[in-house]
Chain A
Amino acid sequence: MTLLSIDWFFLIEKLLLISVVLVLSLVVAMYATWGERKVAAWIQDRLGPNRAGPAGLLQPLADGGKLFFKEEIIPTNSNRFLFILGPSIAMVVACMTSAVIPWGDTLTIAGREISLQVADVNIGILYIFAVVSMGVYGIMLGGWASNNKYSLLASVRAASQIISYELPMGLALIALLMLTGTLSLKEIVEQQRHGLWNICYQPLGFFIFLVCAFAECNRAPFDLPEAENELNGGYHLEYSSMKLGFFLFAEYINMFISSALMATMYFGGYAFPWMDKLGLSPNMVTILGFVALFIKTLLFIFFFMWVRWTVPRFRYDQLMRLGWRVLIPLALVNMLGTGAVELFKHH
Chain B
Amino acid sequence: MQALTNRAKQVDRRPMTFAEKLYIPAIAKGMGITFKHIFQRKATVSYPDQKREFSPVFRGLHILNRDEEGRERCTACGLCAVACPAEAITMEAAERKPGEEHLYREEKYAARYEINMLRCIFCGFCEEACPKDAIYLSETFAPANYQRKGFIYGKDDLLIPDPKAQNK
Contacts and interface: CB of A to CB of B under 8 A. Distances in A.
Interface stretch (A43-51, A76-84, A262-270): A43-51
Contact of A311 (B30, B35, B38, B44): B30
What bracket does the count of chain B residues touching chain A fall in?
Answer: 10 to 19
Contacts, number: 35
Given A310-B27, A311-B30, A44 B37 contact: yes
Contacts of A47: 42, 44, 46
Contacts of A45: 37, 40-44
A43 B37 contact: yes
B34 A46 contact: no
A42 B31 contact: no
A228 B31 CA distance: 22
B27 A42 contact: no
A306 interface: yes
A307 interface: yes
B20 to A, nearest CB: 15
Contacts of A310: 27, 30-31, 33-34
A309 interface: yes
A325 to B, nearest CB: 12
Contact of A309 (B34, B41, B42, B43): B34
Nearest to B44: A47
Interface string A30-67: 00000000010011111100100000000000000000
A326 to B, nearest CB: 10
B38 to A, nearest CB: 4
What bracket does the count of chain A residues touching chain B fall in?
Answer: 10 to 19
A46 to B, nearest CB: 5
Contacts of A309: 34
Contact of A42 (B33, B38, B46): B38
Contacts of B43: 45-46
B42 A307 contact: no
A216 to B, nearest CB: 19
B37 A306 contact: no
A50 B34 contact: no
Interface string B18-31: 00000000010011
Contacts of B33: 310
A45 B46 CA distance: 13
Contacts of A306: 31, 34-35
Contacts of A311: 27, 30-31
B42 A43 contact: no
B48 to A, nearest CB: 10
Contact of A46 (B27, B31, B35, B44): B44
- Enumerate the 10 nearest inter-chain pairs by beta-carbon distance, A residue then B residue, closest first: A42-B38, A310-B34, A47-B44, A43-B34, A45-B43, A310-B31, A310-B30, A46-B44, A43-B37, A47-B42
Interface of B: 27, 30-31, 33-35, 37-38, 40-44, 46
Given A42-B37, A45-B41, A50-B46, 16 more contacts: A39-B38, A42-B42, A43-B34, A43-B35, A44-B37, A45-B40, A45-B42, A45-B43, A45-B44, A46-B43, A47-B44, A47-B46, A306-B31, A306-B34, A309-B34, A310-B31
